Homo-oligomer: A and B are copies of this chain.
Amino acid sequence: MNFKKILLSEKDIPKKWYNLAADLPKALHPPLGPDGEPIKPEMLSKVFPMNLIEQEVSSKRWIDIPQEILEILYRWRPTPLRRATYLEEYLKTPARIYYKDESVSPAGSHKPNTAVAQAWYNKQFGIKKLTTETGAGQWGSALAFACSLLGLECKVYMVRISFEQKPLRKIMMQVWGAKCIASPSKETNSGREILKKMPDTPGSLGIAISEAVEEAVSDASGETRYSLGSVLNHVLLHQTIIGLEAKLQLKLAGEKKPDIVVGCVGGGSNFAGIAFPFVSDKINGEKIQIIPTEPTACPTMTRGEFLYDFGDASGLTPLLAMFTLGHNFIPAPIHAGGLRYHGLAPLVSAAIVQGLLEPRAYDQIKCYESALLWAKTEGAICAPETSHAIACVIDEAIKAKQEHKEKVILFNYSGHGLMDLTGYEKFLLGKLTDYSLPDDDLQRCLESLRGLPKPKK
């Protein structure tokens, strides 16, 4: 019998997170401070609690997951690994397509994996309130959820375009007791500055990060910290439970290894979650094609440059060695709000530079076509972000058919699209725009990068 779902029992949940930093052939470039020198961990202590900063700079391969965090994750983990048999049949492909279903979390995406961990470590450290940014709202609602369970206050700066496109996400955060406001806002210096220059800006993750960081570091009580939903090492670390579970589940399904692993990329956390345990295998000699996918409207990996840049718009964060379109880049208002980020996790960036990954970009229209085909075959409505992975999976399944190869394809079904239906409506009405970044605009972006430090080879 071929099972449609491969389930794990709670007792089989991975007990450690996997840290790719321990295994990369070449060491990560350290973050730099305002003086251009590598920053010391203490310098981040107003932004993050020390226990998370220790994880951020750790080079240990395996890091224990505290039992109390596992107890919270059991609400929805281990998540199912599902086989997309109906899509396979529709495509008449010999490929076997598996997807890790992270949409089953109460917040509807992979984000709670790190939200719960971050809220827990902050609470351990005596923190009472977390601030954050959110794009599509998946991260904001995940942190609201985690803070609600752990009894922390939560304040979310939501990118204005998403705040307007997705009002339900705000209510979701409120149900979990969080405060959610549109960014740029008048509540911070960063927000006010930007509103002065661009009163009609749709906002960006970079701007929202500036606001959330500013609020955290300027709280005189010292009881507020900032929480980031992607990009940083410790965030990606917490997501590796996805790939570690998937590895156990593929074995249960009788598969030796995946031939292809796919994940969509905004800051990089859901991709890292599914992919890093397999990047490790690739470093150790396994033949695996690992594909991070991004929107053509925000082509950080495929058309950006690998430089030291700020994580936010106002330059409040350390300089990170990453692929970037420039910290002032404001992406077009595509519906995949979670993929509208100018930069990219340093760990994912390093894996690209070191030849371990093969990034691709997909345009919004093709992604919605893929999402519709998914709904009509597999039955579920995916997040617009997730459709960027599905588009690639469909391409690869068709290629496997042309090559008559029984490939095993694994991807991360990072979230459902039930809060994102207005994008589907526009697509069905033929009102969606492609929004690929035009060459001229790209050139202007790249010009703005001159002067940023280059990481050493």
Residues of A within 8 A of B (CB): 1, 3-5, 7, 9-11, 74-75, 86, 104, 106, 108, 145, 148-149, 168, 171-172, 174-177, 372, 375-376, 378-381, 418-419, 421-422, 424-425, 428
In contact, A425 and B171 (Cβ under 8 angstroms):
yes
In contact, B5 and A428 (Cβ under 8 angstroms):
no
Contact of A372 among B74, B175, B378, B422 (CB under 8 A): B175
In contact, A171 and B421 (Cβ under 8 angstroms):
yes
Measured between alpha carbons, how far is A381 from B375 in the docked complex, in Å?
23
In contact, A375 and B421 (Cβ under 8 angstroms):
no
In contact, A108 and B171 (Cβ under 8 angstroms):
no
Measured between alpha carbons, how far is A411 from B4 in the docked complex, in Å?
26
Q: Which residues of B contact A175 (CB under 8 A)?
A: 372, 375, 381, 421, 424, 428
Q: Which residues of B contact A5 (CB under 8 A)?
A: 10, 74
**Given A3-B10, A7-B7, A372-B175, A378 and B421 contact (CB-CB distance below 8 Å):** no
Q: Which residues of B contact A418 (CB under 8 A)?
A: 108, 168, 172, 418-419
Measured between alpha carbons, how far is A63 from B315 in the docked complex, in Å?
67
Q: Which residues of B contact A381 (CB under 8 A)?
A: 106, 172, 175
In contact, B421 and A168 (Cβ under 8 angstroms):
yes
Contact of A174 among B3, B145, B174, B425 (CB under 8 A): B425
**Given A3-B10, A4-B10, A75 and B174 contact (CB-CB distance below 8 Å):** no
Measured between alpha carbons, how far is A225 from B263 in the docked complex, in Å?
43
| Known contacts A3-B10, A171-B421, A175-B375, then 7 further A-B pairs from the complex at CB < 8 Å, ordered by chain A residue | A5-B74, A75-B86, A108-B418, A149-B376, A174-B425, A175-B381, A175-B424
In contact, B4 and A7 (Cβ under 8 angstroms):
no
In contact, B378 and A75 (Cβ under 8 angstroms):
yes
Contact of A379 among B3, B149, B379 (CB under 8 A): B149
Interchain nearest-CB distance for A79 vs B (Å): 11
In contact, B375 and A424 (Cβ under 8 angstroms):
no
26 pairs across A/B with beta carbons < 8 Å?
Answer: A1-B11, A3-B10, A3-B74, A4-B10, A4-B75, A5-B74, A7-B9, A75-B86, A75-B378, A75-B380, A106-B380, A106-B381, A148-B376, A149-B376, A149-B379, A168-B418, A171-B424, A172-B418, A174-B424, A174-B425, A175-B372, A175-B375, A175-B421, A176-B375, A177-B376, A418-B419
Most chain B C-beta atoms within 10 Å of own C-beta, residue among A9, A379, A419: A379
Measured between alpha carbons, how far is A148 from B145 in the docked complex, in Å?
33
Interchain nearest-CB distance for A174 vs B (Å): 6
Measured between alpha carbons, how far is A145 from B168 in the docked complex, in Å?
23
In contact, A75 and B424 (Cβ under 8 angstroms):
no
Interchain nearest-CB distance for A444 vs B (Å): 36
In contact, B7 and A3 (Cβ under 8 angstroms):
no
Q: Which residues of B contact A1 (CB under 8 A)?
A: 10-11
Q: Which residues of B contact A422 (CB under 8 A)?
A: 168, 171
Q: Which residues of B contact A172 (CB under 8 A)?
A: 381, 418, 421
Q: Which residues of B contact A10 (CB under 8 A)?
A: 1, 3-5
9 nearest A-B pairs in the assembled complex, by CB-CB distance: A4-B74, A171-B421, A106-B380, A106-B379, A171-B425, A168-B421, A418-B418, A7-B7, A175-B424
Interchain nearest-CB distance for A367 vs B (Å): 14
Q: Which residues of B contact A108 (CB under 8 A)?
A: 418
In contact, B106 and A148 (Cβ under 8 angstroms):
no
Name the residue of chain B whose CB is nearest to the CB of A82. Answer: B75
Q: Which residues of B contact A74 (CB under 8 A)?
A: 3-5
Q: Which residues of B contact A428 (CB under 8 A)?
A: 171, 174-175
Name the residue of chain B whose CB is nearest to the CB of A116. Answer: B379
